Amino acid sequence: METPRPGRWLALGVLVLAVLLVAVDATVLGLATPFLSEDLKPSGTQLLWIGDVYSFVIAGLLVSMGSLGDRLGRKKLLLTGAVAFGAVSVLNAYASSPEMMIAARALLGVAGATLMPSTLALIRNIFHDPKERSLAIGIWGAMASAGAAVGPVVGGFLLENFWWGSVFLINLPVMAVLVLVGAKLLPESKDPAPGPWDLPSVLLSMAGIVGLVYAIKEGATNGLSWPVALAVVVGGVALVWFVRRQLTLPSPLLNMRLFHHRGFSAAVLADLLTVLGLSGMVFFLSQFLQLVQDRSPLEAGLAELPAAIGAVTAGLLAGQAARRWSVRSVVAGGLAAIGLALAALVTLGADTSYPVLGAALLVVGIGAGFSFTVTADVILSSVPKEHAGAASAVSETAYELGAALGIAVLGSIVTGVYRGFAVPAGVPAGAAGDARESLGGAVEAAATLPADSGAALLGSAQDSFVEGLRIASGVGALVLLVTAVVAWFLLRGQRLEEGYGG
């Protein structure tokens, strides 16, 4: 039995700051999108890239960064990444074109990839007692959800009082605290016998993940073409080559034998499909609240709070619930709850009252809090602690890859349906073209037209956007309900470790 580490809860406080930051950054963008659209005037496709290039780059780099942390030291990687995250946030805040914004978001993804696997891996190494670790993971997950809630509220306040770039500058004080306090409180941990960092494996994992996500994104947005087919081939070949290489290396970048553990594989798959089903809907919800229901940014942020309240509460209770009932009932039940809540959003309309939307968001939050916390616990408890970085990276890769695929696939459904809206008679071709690019573009175009024409154009655009959101919610619901059934079977017999006294 290992002695509990003194100061471990204070160290956890530093780690959740990093998680809070990455979560705030992901959600705050959705709220800033209408303002950013007005200023930078991105096309619909550029808007999707701004939305998910961050997750896209993180997904491509997480496995490599998790493995690098195992080798160099997780604390060192976390603090270096935190400094880089703060510096690149400034670049995001002052982006002056859609292309610059996409590049800045990509660089933020590189920095973000160093933060997430390090936090979970350090928790695995700081908390030796399984029950304490479950609670620590619950707090970690709850803070990620709190970040998702705090992001829109803080972002809404900033957007009402300052320019859109201010939502990125809030990262700087948090980063400063993380670096100064983390340098003192966090213990260093690494794999005692890591072996060399294999650069060909790094390049293959990046080429594989980026190639496949690009193919899905472009294919869903613009249909099949030879670049899409080429990306599928390159991505597929790179991933197969990556897996084969890992099986032959004495010190692989990712230990593929982790996937022999049924609970580990099931938890990773559940995370990926859950985020895929959720992310497209979440990305467009802020636009719905502001540009369809005409709420202020702060109102829109507060309207999304029930999801975070549900997730924080469920996250803190998840470990206890999984021990009392079973891992599979808590995970599958959580996924089914999200699926049913998304299915309810198929009835969404421009005039849907807030209590209906708020109740659906609360159920989504509770389901996500239960399922994500327990799957993170299963993933970490099923590997030796020296492999914690690699295992955390797989968990985070599933999450980020799911987000990128969700925004690509479900986002492309919303965009595709939206672009097909009927332009009312008498609207000039230029205004119609601007309106078809994005809903933000339609709001701007409508403002330049006579009152009747403007109202007709905006009404038609809003109806089409809501129709796209309904279809995307239906697809998301189907994905989540199927995932719940799969998780029920694959997590059969899976248990969380008991504590020292349990």
What is the C-alpha separation between 388 and 370, in angstroms, rounded?
A: 22
Residue 214, domain extent:
198-252
Are residues 150 and 291 located together in one domain of the fold?
Answer: yes
For residues 107 and 88, the answer to whether their CB atoms sit within 8 Å is yes
* C-alpha distances out from residue 131 to 366, 381, 497, Å: 21, 11, 7
Give the CA dihedral 338, 341, 347, 349, nearest 10 degrees.
Answer: -90
**What's the pLDDT at 237?**
94
Asked if 167 and 235 sit in the same domain, the reply is no
* Among the listed residues 69, 277, 19, the one whose alpha carbon sits nearest the alpha carbon of residue 189: 69
- At position 14, the amino acid (one-letter code) is V
Is the same domain home to 225 and 84?
no
pLDDT at 348 over 60: yes
- The backbone region for 295, taken as left when phi is positive above 0, alpha when psi lies in -120 to 50, beta otherwise, is beta
Task: Show which of 252, 277, 296 is a domain's final residue.
Answer: 252
Asked if the structure places residue 2 within a domain, the reply is no
Host H or E run for residue 430:
helix 429-437
Tell me, yes or no, whether 390 lies in a domain. yes
Closest CA to 271 of 131, 144, 413, 82: 144
pLDDT of residue 364: 86
Average pLDDT rounded to a whole number, residues 109-130: 78
Q: Residue 283: left if φ>0, alpha if ψ -120 to 50, beta else—which one?
A: alpha
| Cα gap 249→331, rounded to integer Å | 34
Domain count, the chain: 2
CA distances from residue 22 to 120, 373, 408 in whole angstroms, order as listed: 13, 17, 20
User: How many Å apart are CA 80 and CA 393, to the nearest integer?
Assistant: 17
Kindly give, in sequence order, each residue whose CB lies less than 8 Å from that of residue 459, ignoring residues fewer than 6 positions away: none
Element (H, E) at 310: helix 305-324
Backbone angles phi, psi at 423, to 5 degrees: -80, 125
> Does residue 316 sit in the same domain as residue 445?
yes
Which one, of 432, 433, 436, lies nearest residue 418 by Cα? 436
Q: What is the pLDDT of residues 247-264, one digit of tens each?
A: 888 877 777 777 877 888
Question: Using 50, 70 and 90 to split pLDDT, how confident is the model at 77?
Answer: confident
What's the Cα-to-Cα distance from 13 to each of 7, 45, 140, 249, rounded to whole Å?
Answer: 10, 38, 9, 37
Q: Determine the Cα–Cα distance for residues 90 and 144; give it in Å rounded to an integer.
A: 22
> With bands split at pLDDT 50, 70 and 90, how would you rate the model's confidence at 202?
confident
Q: Are residues 246 and 128 in the same domain?
A: no
Q: What is the DSSP annotation of 232-276?
A: HHHHHHHHHHHHHHHHH-SS-SS-GGGGGSHHHHHHHHHHHHHHH
Residues 138 and 236 in one domain: no
211 and 348 co-located in one domain:
no
Q: Are residues 91 and 159 in the same domain?
A: yes
| pLDDT over 70 (residue 500) | no
Q: Is position 192 within any domain?
A: no
Neighbours of 397 (CB within 10 A): 28
The candidate with the shortest Cα–Cα distance to 162, out of 301, 305, 286, 298, is 298
Domain co-membership, 405 together with 451 = yes
Pair (128, 274) in one structural domain: yes
Considering 210, 237, 252, which residue would you say is the last residue of a domain? 252
Q: Are residues 214 and 257 in the same domain?
A: no
Q: What is the pLDDT of residues 421-461, one digit of tens each?
A: 777 777 777 777 777 777 777 777 777 777 787 778 777 88
Q: Which pair of structure tokens corresponds to residue 298?
A: 């702060």
Q: How confident is the model at residue 220 (pLDDT cuts 50, 70, 90)?
A: low
The answer to whether residues 80 and 92 belong to one domain is yes
